[in-house]
Amino acid sequence: MYRFKPELRIPGPVPVPNEVALQMAKPMINHRGAYFKEHYPAVLKRLAPLFGTTNQVHMITGSGTAGMEVAVSNLVSPGTPVLCLVGGFFGNRWADLCKAYGAKMHILEFPWDGGVDPEQVATYLKQHPEIELMFMVQNESSTAVLNDVESVAKARGNHSALLVVDAVSALGGTPCQMDAWGLDVVVSASQKCLMTPPGTAFVVFSPRAREYSDRCTASRYYMDLRRYEQYMEKSETPFTPNIHNVFALEEALSMIEAEGLENVFARHILMRDMMRAGARAVGLELLVKDEDASPTVTGIRFPNADSFRARIKKQYGVEFAGGQGIHANNIFRVGHMGYATPLDVLTALAVLEMDMKKYGQATQAAEQVMEA
Ligand SMILES: Cc1ncc(COP(=O)(O)O)c(C=O)c1O
């Protein structure tokens, strides 16, 4: 088998389109020069529709977790009562970050195979009027669950808690309507549905969150949002940014804009449905119910999943992701986000059915979804 054509089917980082990768080879420029000052704010403006916001998008050089830390370090003062909605590995990351900044912790746990229940959130908030901030994950990559962020935002009712959302593996693959849904902070990253290399995080604060952050006493420097705002006035970043990720993002956004955001979302739904139909057709159990299923990643129960993954990587060069936390070795996850097409889902299913010697069954079921 030819070994040098990687077939990455993991929930990020995702394959980068050639047009985008080529941008990474551009000559280096001065990040305080005219070209950057023109292109940097412009690309952030083009990102705003993906967030569903008219607020300023900020870019932080660092991975998605750096974006999450910008949110926490600008909001959580020592002793701030926070509620983390945890149904997987990345929900836990919010909790870990809040603990690191000395929050007074409240954690609502949800099973690691389903979504956050907005009713439980509403009940908890009624019992705890003191909670100031709530943290959740839109697309929990570890369980392949898409949480209903809009309903959780509504579940606050008259409660004043700010809602902070990790949209790292959601943004650009599934709708996010920050302003319309009343989200207060949204965080994302470059290496998932945005089809660009890792190394940049994006953060948006609502005016209410920004006002709240003025009262935050947490110690912060690189992550201090105020620095990013000050430098944004001159169309610059406070520190040397990941310049080439800006070029890459321009190209990736051109591709997304040419396809049309609604069509991008529809493609992700189609890939989700194909993947699920194919897995079911060969008798595999999906980790989550249809109503909770992520459009960008699918989790499939599989005994001894890690040896299966190693086998297909060696045999075909196809790479699936493993399970995390309680799902380690019990599931594998197939990423179908960003630069991914229905054909990529068919090839993922082809290696699955070949390994299981159920030739044609999964791909045929997926084809039927495609044709429906
Ligand atoms: C939902 C979610 N949140 C946060 C992260 C953390 O991002 P990073 O690894 O870029 O720090 C990831 C990464 O996989 C993720 O999927």
CATH number at residue 265: 3.90.1150.10
Tokens of residue 57, six digits: 């998008």
Do 294 and 222 share a structural domain?
A: no
CB contact set of 214 (below 8 Å; sequence gap of 6+): none
> Where are any strands of DSSP class E within the chain?
7-9, 57-61, 81-86, 104-109, 133-137, 139-140, 145-146, 162-166, 185-189, 200-205, 297-301, 318-322, 331-335
Ligand 1 site, residue 166, Cβ cutoff 6 A: yes
Select from 63, 145, 168 the residue to mutate for testing ligand 1; criterion: most ligand atoms less than 8 Å from CB: 168
Q: Are residues 237 and 279 in the same domain?
A: no
At 1 the pLDDT is: 59
In the chain, the amino acid numbered 22 is L
With 70 as the cut, is the pLDDT of residue 3 above it?
no
Residue 186: beta bridge partners?
A: 165, 204
For residue 160, is pLDDT > 70?
yes
Q: Residue 2 domain-assigned?
A: no
| Angle of helix 305-316 versus helix 342-355 axis, rounded to 10 | 110
Query: What whole-number distance in Å separates Cα of residue 306 and Cα of residue 358?
Result: 20
Give the SS3 label for residue 136: strand
Q: Which atom of ligand 1 is nearest to the CA of 198?
A: 10
Residue nearest to atom 5 of ligand 1 (CA): 64
Domain boundary pick from 228, 256, 284: 256
Tally of structural domains, the chain: 2
- Which residues fall within 8 angstroms of residue 162, CB to CB, at 6 or more apart? 75, 132, 133, 134, 184, 185, 206, 208, 209, 212
Helix (H, G, I), strand (E, B) or coil at 78: coil
- pLDDT band of residue 257 (cuts 50, 70, 90) is very high
Best probe residue, ligand 1, of 65, 85, 138, 298 (max atoms within 8 Å of C-beta): 65
Tell me the mean pLDDT in the region 139-152: 98
Query: For residue 91, is it within any domain?
Result: yes
Q: Report CA-CA distances (Å) from 221 to 59, 226, 258, 296, 346.
A: 15, 10, 38, 34, 47
Are 265 and 251 contained in the same domain?
Answer: no
Tell me the mean pLDDT in the region 346-372: 97
Would you state the pLDDT for residue 364? 98
Note whether residue 227 is domain-resident. yes
Answer yes or no: do 114 and 198 share one domain: yes
- 227 and 299 in a single domain? The answer is no
Query: Does 115 contact ligand 1 (Cβ within 6 A)?
Result: no
Cβ density class 100-124: b for 16+ within 10 Å, e for less: ebebeebbbebebbbbbbbeebbeb
Question: Same structural domain for residues 323 and 175?
Answer: no
Q: What is the pLDDT of residue 5?
A: 84
Same domain, 239 and 279: no
State whether 184 and 322 are in the same domain: no
Q: Is the CB of 143 under 6 A from ligand 1?
A: no
Pairing type for strands 139-140 and 133-137 reads unpaired
145 lines ligand 1 (CB under 6 A): no
Residue 90, ligand 1, Cβ within 6 A? yes
Q: Is the pLDDT of residue 281 over 80?
A: yes
Q: Are 304 and 210 in contact (CB under 8 A)?
A: no
63 assigned to some structural domain? yes
pLDDT band at 2 (very low <50, low <70, confident <90, very high): low
Domain membership of residue 187 (yes or no) is: yes
Cα-to-centroid distance, 188 and ligand 1 (Å)? 8
Strand 297-301 relative to strand 331-335: parallel, antiparallel, unpaired? antiparallel
Q: Is residue 101 domain-shared with residue 128, that is, in the same domain?
A: yes
Are 119 and 156 within 8 A, CB to CB? no
CATH value at residue 232: 3.40.640.10
Residue 320 and residue 332 in contact, taking contact as beta carbons nearer than 8 Å: yes
- Whether residue 299 has its Cβ less than 6 Å from ligand 1: no
- Domain limit, last residue, from 256, 283, 318: 256
C-alpha separations of 214 from 76, 207, 220, 227, 238 in Å: 11, 11, 12, 13, 19
Task: Say how many Å lie between the CA of residue 306 and the centre of ligand 1.
Answer: 21
- Residue the block writes with tokens 């099973």: 111
Q: Is residue 345 included in any domain, yes or no?
A: yes
Domain extent at residue 129: 18-256
For residues 119 and 236, state if they share a domain. yes
- The first and second tokens of residue 18, run together, are 């050639």
| Neighbour tally for 214: CB within 10 Å | 9
Does position 228 have pLDDT exceeding 70, yes or no? yes
User: Per residue in 95-124, pLDDT tens?
Assistant: 999 999 999 999 999 999 999 999 999 999
Tell me, yes or no, whether 316 lies in a domain: yes
* Cα 66 to averaged position of ligand 1 atoms, centre (Å): 10
User: Per-residue pLDDT for 185 more than 70?
Assistant: yes
209 and 338 inside one domain: no
What is the chain's mean pLDDT, rounded? 97
Same domain (yes/no): 84, 208: yes
Find the mean pLDDT for residues 141-163. Answer: 98
| Closest ligand 1 atom to Cα of 137 | 1
In percent, how much of the chain has pLDDT > 90? 98
Q: Which of 256, 290, 324 is the last residue of a domain?
A: 256
Residue 86: φ, ψ to 5°: -115, 115
Q: Is residue 215 part of a domain?
A: yes
| 185-189 and 200-205 beta bridge pairing | antiparallel
Of the candidates 26, 59, 1, the residue with the CA atom closest to the CA atom of residue 227: 59
pLDDT single digits (tens) 317-356: 999 999 999 999 999 999 999 999 999 999 999 999 999 9
